[in-house]
Structures are given as structure tokens and as C-alpha cells.
């Protein structure tokens, strides 16, 4: 995915969410997603990777997902390389990032 330099943060987040949702995998089950949405999926812990924002319960930085999608790779490719991150976790993280960006510019 080629991203123009003048794209806003909200536009980037929306594009990344669309990219993630286009992956050829079965639809998310609402019950699973609701149970994980109680806590943020991206956490910062100074004891894990020097405080880099990571997926909860893993040592996988959120930036890795953004870098994969920005580089034109599919969500499936990212998930294959980082099996401790589920599709549901990745989609929730992108949705949280989108919401955060939209709140910041609103």
C-alpha cells in the first residue's frame, strides 16, 4: 500500500482498518470481540521492550503491524509472522488507533 505524504493520521488509520478487514479470513465472532474489548489491546509496560506499545500478552510491538500494512503486506502475512497476535487483536488495535486519532483531531 503506497501512502502519500500529505495523508492525515485519521485517513491513514481508516485506510489501515479497511486493509485489515479485506483479509480473506472468516468474519469475527461478536462474542469473542466483545470479551476482549473490555481492556485496551495495546499496552505500555516499561519492563517489556523498554516501554514500546505492544499487543497485550505478547512482545510484539504495535508498530510492527503498522509497518507491515504500510509496506503493502496483508494482515494475513503479519499474523503468519507473529502468531501470538490474533486477527481479532490486530483489528481491535487498528480500531483503537483510529478512535484515538479521530478524538485527537476532533
- SS3 state of residue 43: strand
Region of 72 please: left (phi>0), alpha (psi -120 to 50) or beta.
Answer: left
Rounded Cα gap, residues 34 and 2, in angstroms: 32
Q: Is residue 36 part of a domain?
A: yes
- Is residue 3 assigned to a domain? no
- Read off the pLDDT of residues 54-79 as tens digits, 9 standing for 90 and up: 999 999 999 999 999 999 999 999 99
Q: What CATH number should be reported for the domain holding residue 20? A: 1.10.10.10
Mean pLDDT of the chain: 79
Give residue 51's domain range.
Answer: 9-105
pLDDT at 47 over 60: yes
Asked if the model's pLDDT at residue 1 lies above 70, the reply is no
What is the reported pLDDT for 14? 55
Q: What is the mean pLDDT of residues 18-31?
A: 50
Domain for residue 88, yes or no? yes
Q: Is the pLDDT of residue 84 over 90?
A: yes
> Is residue 47 in a domain?
yes
Inside any domain, residue 45: yes
Query: pTM of the entire structure?
Result: 0.65
Residue 4, in any domain of the structure: no
Over range 79-104, report the average pLDDT.
95
Beta-bridge partners for 54:
43, 61
Please tell me the distance from the alpha carbon of residue 63 to that of residue 13, in angstroms, as a whole number.
13
Asked if the structure places residue 52 within a domain, the reply is yes
Tell whether the torsion through CA atoms of 56, 74, 32 and 37 is positive or negative.
Answer: positive
Total domains present in the chain: 1
Amino acid at each position: 500500500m503506497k501512502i502519500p505524504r500529505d495523508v492525515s493520521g485519521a485517513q491513514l488509520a481508516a485506510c489501515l482498518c479497511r486493509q485489515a478487514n479485506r483479509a480473506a479470513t472468516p468474519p469475527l465472532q461478536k462474542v469473542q470481540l466483545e470479551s476482549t474489548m473490555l481492556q485496551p489491546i495495546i499496552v505500555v509496560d516499561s519492563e517489556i521492550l523498554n516501554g514500546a506499545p505492544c499487543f497485550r500478552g505478547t512482545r510484539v510491538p504495535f508498530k510492527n503491524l503498522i509497518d507491515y500494512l504500510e509496506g503493502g503486506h496483508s494482515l494475513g502475512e503479519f499474523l503468519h509472522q507473529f502468531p501470538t497476535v490474533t486477527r481479532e487483536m490486530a483489528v481491535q488495535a487498528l480500531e483503537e488507533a483510529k478512535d484515538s486519532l479521530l478524538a485527537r483531531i476532533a
